Structure formats: structure tokens, C-alpha cells
Structure 1
Amino acid sequence: MSQRISRINELLQREVSEQMRRYYRSETAAITISDVDCSTDLRHAKIFFSVLGDDAAIRDAEALFNRIGKDLRQRVSKHVILKYFPRFDFVYDPSLERGAEINDLLDQLDIEND
């Protein structure tokens, strides 16, 4: 991945998070934007998100992004100027949940070894 695409990914991640915090604070309090993966032609961007909660919270977050996705893209496009502004696809990212599970297992092993 080129350095330019990496910078665009980081910029989009920061700006999507900021716009969510600013305009959808009550609805997106438990949602974290964990990563952005923009295509090299800048036409599509996968926005990876994590949610605190169970499967119902994940479904609620997906429904929320289906509802506010276009508005969120429009708000971000006013702050990030690109020749082609990517279409957002929101994808659930279970990596933070798996990381927390691994930390719990390591804590349990540490307690057992004491």
C-alpha cells in the first residue's frame, strides 16, 4: 500500500470518527471506527467498526450505518477534499473483541500461575 493511501485511510478514519462524535453522539457512543481501507482508485472505502455489546448491538450499529451512511459520507466529504471521494461500505470488525478475549485468557493464566 502506498504512503498516500495510508495517509488517506488515517485521515478518513479520524474524520469519520469526528463527524460521528459531533453529529450522532448519542447513537454512536458504543461504536469505534477501528480502521479504513480505501481502494487505490479512491472509489470505495471499507470503514471497519467495532461495537461494545452483543449481537443485537452489532445489528443495531449496522442498521444505524445503513440509515446515516450517506449523510456521514457527505459531512466527511466537506472536510476531506479528494479528486474522487470514496463510497463508504461499513464492515463489522471483530478484532477488538478477539483482542479482549485474548487479554482475559492471559489474565486467567497469570492468576493461575500465582
Structure 2
Amino acid sequence: MSKDFKRTDRVAEMMQRKLSQIIQQEIKDPRLPAFITISAVKVSADLGHAKVYFTVFNDDVKETAAILNAAASYLRSALARSVKLRTVPQLHLYMMSQ
């Protein structure tokens, strides 16, 4: 029986769900828009780094990207509290091209 998904795919999917929850429920920065969507997460093969792609509706994209990148360490620590991984990947946040 072959595996349909690689471990990196499963970790990326789980991180996408958890990061969406953390951004909506735990980050209380009033400068952040209400509609931030985590579009995709790509995890490196060694699970050391994760590229997180997000979209923002009707707001300043550059400011939102700067705020999220400043909060990357908080997002990583919040993610570490909510998942069971030996090490949580470093987060690199990018605006999803439209």
C-alpha cells in the first residue's frame, strides 16, 4: 500500500488550518484587516522552513505583510503550543500573487 501524501504535505495542511485559527482568534492587532486568508503553506523537506502564502481583501497589502512578518515569531510559538511536532518550522510569510 503506497502513501498518497508525503509527510510535508500533511504538515503543511495542518499548519495552514492552525495558522488561520491563530491569526483570527489570537492576534489582536487593530491594524490587521478582518479578512486574511492563509492560501497555501509549503514546507521544506527537512521541516525546517515553511513558506506561508496569504491573501488580503480590500486593504493595504504591504502594511499587512509587514505586520504579519513582525508577528512571525509569535505565530511560530503559538503554532508550537497547538501542534505536536518536534520542531516547528521557521515561518516566511508572502503575499499570494493574484
Shorter-normalised TM range: 0.7 to 0.9
Gaps of 5+ in 1: 96-114
Structure exhibiting the larger radius of gyration computed from Cα positions:
1
> 2: distance between equivalents of 1:64 and 1:74?
16
Structure 1 residues 102-113: aligned runs within 5 Å: none
Distance 1:28 1:18, change over 3 A: farther
CA distance in structure 1 between the aligned counterparts of 2:11 and 2:66, rounded to whole angstroms: 26
Q: Residue 71 of structure 2 aligns to a residue in which SS?
A: helix
Q: What is the CA–CA distance in structure 2 between the aligned matches of 1:24 and 1:82, rounded to whole Å?
A: 22
Q: Which runs of 5+ in 2 are unaligned?
A: none
Residue in 2 that maps onto 1:11: 14
1:38 to 38, 43, 51: 43
Question: Once the two structures are aligned, what percentage of the paired residues are identical?
Answer: 30
Deviation at 1:3, TM superposition (A): 2.1
Using the TM superposition, name which of 74-83 and 38-47 deviates more.
Answer: 74-83
Higher-helix-fraction structure: 1
* Offset of residue 72 of structure 1: 1.0
Deviations 1:43-79 (A, max 9, x none): 000000011126xx11111111122111111001111
TM-score (norm 1): 0.73
1:73 is aligned to 2:76: yes
Which one-letter code corresponds to 2:92 in the other structure?
A: D
How far off is 1:90 after superposition? 0.1
Match of 2:56 in 1: 51
Instruction: Give the aligned CA root-mean-square deviation in angstroms.
Output: 1.8
**Are the aligned partners of 1:20 and 1:28 in contact in 2 as well (CA < 8 Å)?**
no
